[in-house]
Amino acid sequence: MTNLSSQVGVLRRGVINSLVAFSIIVSFIILFYKGQEVHVAIGVKHEHQELQAKMAAEHHEQLRGKLPVPDAGQEECNWSTGQWVYDNVSRPLYSGLKCTFMFPEVACDKYGRKDVMYQQWRWQPHGHGCDLPRFDAIRLLEKLKNKRLVFVGDSLNRNQWVSLVCMVEASIPDARHKMHSINGSLLSFKALEYNATIDFYWSPLLLESNGDSPTVQWLEYKIIRADRIEKHASAWRDADIIIFNSYVWWRKHKADMRMKVMYGSFEDGDARLNEVEMIDGFEIALKKLTKWLGENIDKNKTRIFFAGSSPTHSWASNWGGEDSNKCLNETEPIYKDGYKGADYSMMEKAKLYFGTLEEKGIHIQILNITELSEYRKDGHPTVFRKQFHPLTKEQIMNPASYADCIHWCLPGVPDVWNEFLYGYLMYK
């Protein structure tokens, strides 16, 4: 396990200033599923904002008294396989309506979702003594004191960031915290008393790409720059804890979908454009990221995670429903043990690349949240979220056409992803 003891700073290198000449500005993404076109607004307006809030610490005393069972840190425990247990006593961990940092794309109860069971499931890993440690925001903030944790990736990683800051906000004692969106790509939460920072940085394809503007997500085609990561890396190179993710943007939504890859640059006059399979594009990104981490990460300072693929539930026939309904009106998990619908091969690839860093003593911990999320066909916003574009008549007639079965309602599934993160930070 990575040791976080030393305070040695990361080498600061010159940041290559690069111009991405090909951003395409539209504010929603069109995803193609098996040739069917569905519009899912993933774009969220990051208005420049600065919020300050004061909160009472209702549960503070209770939380401090009960420490989690240390057993949970045992190596042989396997948090990624288990089952959902209905538990309306300990769940939800916070109120979605009260969380200051809630995002409209995942604010299901605010946008009219009336059933509540989806907020009341706890993840129970298989095996004795393998319970997930009980989340304690104060202990986490003590751990993050004078530190910076940053989530780097796409809107699913932002989903996890929102979940974590809501979990923390719900129990900060006479809290002083602050959210400050420094610019569109960086969302920042700070617990002032602890000088603890929890950020999200938008970088959906990890490399520099034409998807780099968080408000700009209608991309007819995607372009990555094979050798450009510095601009993004400058946003996370000083972090103490980094959680990367990247999955949905690489998936193939129609048979002929390919990734464009740019080498060199227009400025240097050696720009070259190539086209590869989406999965090969993912490998190009992994390779560059791995190389960067190997050359720049101070293993004594920085702890690195990669969040596993977040499954989608757009094809109801996978669990015995009608495809045309997608995940509409689902109110309960899939109970079939071992249910799998996602593509597990991408994380296997990621594991291979990251494995090459072990010889340098750099360990990238995978948060293997795929299987637990697979069961949760009931966990998505569907139509209960902010629509960033007015719905057409046709859409209103056919709710499945715009139902979001990709992101996750909060409180909900990503809270468990954060329990994994917490467990690793505290015990592993």
Ligand X SMILES: *[C@@H]1O[C@H](CO)[C@@H](O)[C@H](O)[C@H]1NC(C)=O
Is it true that the peptide bond before 125 is cis, omega within 30 degrees of 0? no
Nearest residue (beta carbon) to ligand X:
371
Q: Which of the ranges 244-252, 277-285, 312-320, 368-376 carries the binding residues for ligand X, by CB under 6 A?
A: 368-376
Min CB(256)–ligand X separation in Å: 28
Over the chain, what HEC string results?
A: CCCCCCCCCCCCCCCCCCCCCCCCCCCCEEEEECCEEEEECCCCCCCCCEEEEEECCCCHHHHHHCCCCHHHHCCCCCCCCEEEEECCCCCCCCCCCCCCCCCCCCCCCCCCCCCCHHHCEEEEECCCCCCCCCCCHHHHHHHCCCCEEEEEECHHHHHHHHHHHHHHHCCCCCEEEEEEEEECCEEEEEEHHHCEEEEEEECCCCCCECCCCCCCCCCCCCEEECCCCHHHHHHHCCCCEEEECCCHHHCCCCCCCEEEEEECCCCCCCCEEEEEEHHHHHHHHHHHHHHHHHHHCCCCCCEEEEECCCCCCCCHHHHCCCHHHCCCCCCCCCCCCCCCCCCCHHHHHHHHHHHCCHHHCCCEEEECCHHHHHCCCCCCCECCCCCCCCCCHHHHHCHHHCCECCCCCCCCHHHHHHHHHHHHHHHC
C-beta closer to ligand X: residue 142 or 275: 142
Q: Which of 49, 52, 62, 300 binds ligand X (CB under 6 A)?
A: 300
Q: Which of the ranges 25-33, 157-165, 243-251, 366-374 carries the binding residues for ligand X, by CB under 6 A?
A: 366-374
Q: Which of 164, 235, 334, 426 binds ligand X (CB under 6 A)?
A: 235
C-beta closer to ligand X: residue 274 or 325: 325
C-beta closer to ligand X: residue 206 or 235: 235
Site string for ligand X, 301-340 (x = CB under 6 A): ------------------------x--xx-----------
Taking CB under 6 A as the criterion, which residues in 125-164 touch ligand X? 126-127, 146-148
Taking CB under 6 A as the criterion, which residues in 72-111 touch ligand X? 78, 80-81, 88
Taking CB under 6 A as the criterion, which residues in 184-203 touch ligand X? 185, 195, 197
Min CB(78)–ligand X separation in Å: 3
Q: Which of the ranges 158-166, 182-190, 259-267, 382-390 carries the binding residues for ligand X, by CB under 6 A?
A: 182-190
Cβ of 177: how many Cβ atoms within 10 Å?
A: 24
Q: Which of 8, 51, 67, 352 binds ligand X (CB under 6 A)?
A: 8
Q: Which of the ranges 60-68, 105-113, 164-172, 343-351 carries the binding residues for ligand X, by CB under 6 A?
A: 343-351
C-beta closer to ligand X: residue 4 or 257: 4
What is the phi/psi pair of residue 287, to 5°? -65, -45
Min CB(406)–ligand X separation in Å: 18
Min CB(258)–ligand X separation in Å: 25
Contacts of 147 (CB under 8 A, 6+ apart): 196, 197, 240, 241
Min CB(220)–ligand X separation in Å: 23
Task: Give the active site residues.
Answer: 155, 404, 407
Does 351 participate in binding ligand X (rule CB under 6 A)? yes
Min CB(364)–ligand X separation in Å: 11
Interacting residues toward ligand X by CB under 6 A: 6, 8, 78, 80-81, 88, 126-127, 146-148, 182-183, 185, 195, 197, 231, 235, 298, 300, 325, 328-329, 344, 347-348, 351, 366, 368, 370-371
